[in-house]
Each structure stands twice: as structure tokens, then as C-alpha cells.
Chains A and B, each alone.
Chain A
Amino acid sequence: MHELSVCQAVIAQVEQIARQHDARVASITVRIGSLSGVESALLQRAYPLAVAGTALSRARLVIDVAPVRVRCRSCFAETIVEPNRLLCGVCGEWRTDLVSGDELLLASVELERNQHV
């Protein structure tokens, strides 16, 4: 359960962005691959607990799950595969390189300008 640590890292980054822009955070989008080591369902559950009392307490969390994609070293085909079966989808070779699927990114933030009276 290190999803709480990941949430805390997100909060620190986003709070800084909100301060720089003098804005409220409406939503944040994270991009997570199935081979990042972070479970999106657990992250979604940990998020409301982690953001309570922070500048993100009213910000929605959007999780964009990145598919696992490998490039074959034998036939060079790129295929989308399961996270625990990284064999080439065309020729079955096991020596493949990960093209995507281990992302753990803060992709974007939606900000609402603070209305100063």
C-alpha cells in the first residue's frame, strides 16, 4: 500500500502549481501504466483520505491508465500485451523492450483562478 505515498507526492507537486498560479485546483489527471507498481483502484481509494485538508480537497482525480506496449527485438513489431506476459504479440519472442506501461506521471491540472474581490 504505497499508494498513499504516491498521493502525498501528487499533493506536494499540485499545491506548488496552484500557489504559482494563484488558483484553485478543479481536477488533476495522472497517467499510470499497469507496470508502474501503482494500482489505480487503490490510488483512487487513497486519494480522498490523502487530500482532506489540503488545497486539493475539492479537486477531482482522473486516472488515465496507459496500456503496456512492447517492441520485439527479433521482428521489431510493437504490440499491446498483458503486464505479466510481455512476449511479442506477433512472433512470440520473449526478448522485448517496454515502450510504454510503466508511466507514473502527473499529466495535467485544471485550475480555476481565485476571484479576488
Chain B
Amino acid sequence: MCEQAPVQHLPVLTHLLGSNDRAAAHNRAHLDRHGVLAINLMSSPGAGKTSLLEATIQRLRAHYRIFVVEGDLATENDARRIRAQGVPAIQITTGNACHLDASMLHRALHEIPLAEVDLLFIENVGNLVCPASFDLGQHRNVVLLSVPEGDDKPEKYPVMFRAAELVLLTKTDLLEHIPEFDVQRAQRSLQMIACEAPVIELASRRGIGMDAWCNWLLEQKIGDRSCPQSLPAIG
């Protein structure tokens, strides 16, 4: 007869993604030290993240030193589009991974001359599910919802939209062609999931909403609450 091994019940209560969170905190401290404002852009594929970045770069590149980290399953296409705007970009190809994580950003940060950067955009993998669970060390999460996707997306993807600190309603120039999309219904859908993020309506290719978006960006603070810094004002 085998002797029954004694079983010990051990309470643990640690966060399952604790190692990612620690790496994210390290990234954030690194960015803070260099006074770099880091913005994580998330959305479904095709919501207009890269077009938004192109339009943003055109407005801000004369005043701020911008760097872009592009996350994608494959291809360097998005990074090429950014470089064509005269701004440096690093492409992280994730292979089959559906999201960026803090260690991937950490490796990318080592290739970025942070002392020469004011504003870092991280374009996450196009996906409304997985990226929401992984803190990267960014200062703000911005989630895009494009008009062709439908106005009920926040209720369908509550984790993603609850992570948003700003919601950009993109491709609003298509509203006249897509009457099913109701801006007020989109706002109500955000309220259903208790999301208090401000909403900016935007059509980046037409320049609509770009002032509001750029003003929001320049109001954001870098660093911890006790000693936040802002981006320098446009002189």
C-alpha cells in the first residue's frame, strides 16, 4: 500500500499577470525619467490608428520629437507609413501573439533614444480583446471606435472600453453613409459599462476633430501624481 502524501493548502493571492505589471512599471519609470509621454493606441484592425498617427505627426512634428512603436502580427507596412512622415518608428512583429506586452515594449525602448523624444505613440495590435489585459507602461490608453464597426461595440468589448482614458470616434465623415451608427447610442453604450472617458469625434483624413485630439494630448501629464510634468507648450 502506498502511503498517502499529506496535502497542504497554500493561499497565494498574487496577480496572474504580476510579472507583466512589474515590467510595465519599470517601463513607466524609464519613460518618466526621460519626460516622455507614452500613449497606447488600441482598436480593432482597420479603425484608423495609423491614419490618425499620420495626421497627428503632420500637426505636431514641428513642435515635438515623436517616436512610434508599431505592433503587428506581421509586416513592416505601418512602420513604413510612419517613417514616410519623417518620424522614426520601430516595428514589433508579434508573430502569433494577439497583443503587445510590457517585455516586448521594454526591448523596443532600449532601441529608442528616449532623451531625444517627447511623445511616444504605441500602436497596439488591432484587437479589441487581448491588448486590454496587458499594461505596457504607457501613461494613457486611447481606444478608437470607427463608425463602420457599429455603435454597440463598447457593450460587446467592455474590458477594452473600460480601459480607455479617451475614446476617439473615428471616420465620422462616413456617418452620412452609415445611418445605422448613432453617436448618442455609442455614448449610451459607453455609459452601460460605466466608462467615463471623454469622447472626441474625429475624421483624421479631413482634419475634423484633430484640434480637440491634439489639445487633449498636450494636456496630459507625465510621471507620478506627486511630480507630474507636461509636454512643453507649443512656442
Interface residues of A (CB under 8 A from B): 1-2, 5-6, 9-10, 12-13, 17, 21, 23-24, 26, 30, 35-38, 70, 83-87, 94-98, 102, 104-113, 115
Contact = CB atoms under 8 A, between A and B. Distances in A.
23 contacts: A6-B17, A9-B18, A13-B16, A17-B10, A17-B12, A70-B194, A83-B158, A84-B155, A85-B155, A86-B158, A86-B192, A86-B194, A97-B194, A98-B194, A106-B13, A106-B14, A106-B15, A106-B16, A107-B12, A108-B10, A109-B10, A110-B9, A112-B7
B194 A96 contact: yes
Interface stretch (B81-89, B125-133, B168-176, B215-223): B125-133
Centre residue among A35, A86, A113 by max chain B CB count within 10 A: A86
A112 B6 contact: yes
B101 interface: yes
A110 B162 CA distance: 34
A106 B5 CA distance: 23
B19 A12 contact: yes
Contacts of B194: 70, 86-87, 94-98
Contact of A9 (B7, B17, B158): B17
Interface of B: 3, 5-20, 97-99, 101, 129-130, 132-134, 155-156, 158-159, 162, 191-194, 196
A109 to B, nearest CB: 5
B15 to A, nearest CB: 6
B229 to A, nearest CB: 29
B192 A94 contact: yes
Contact of A108 (B6, B9, B97): B9
A18 to B, nearest CB: 10
Contacts of A23: 8
Nearest to B189: A84
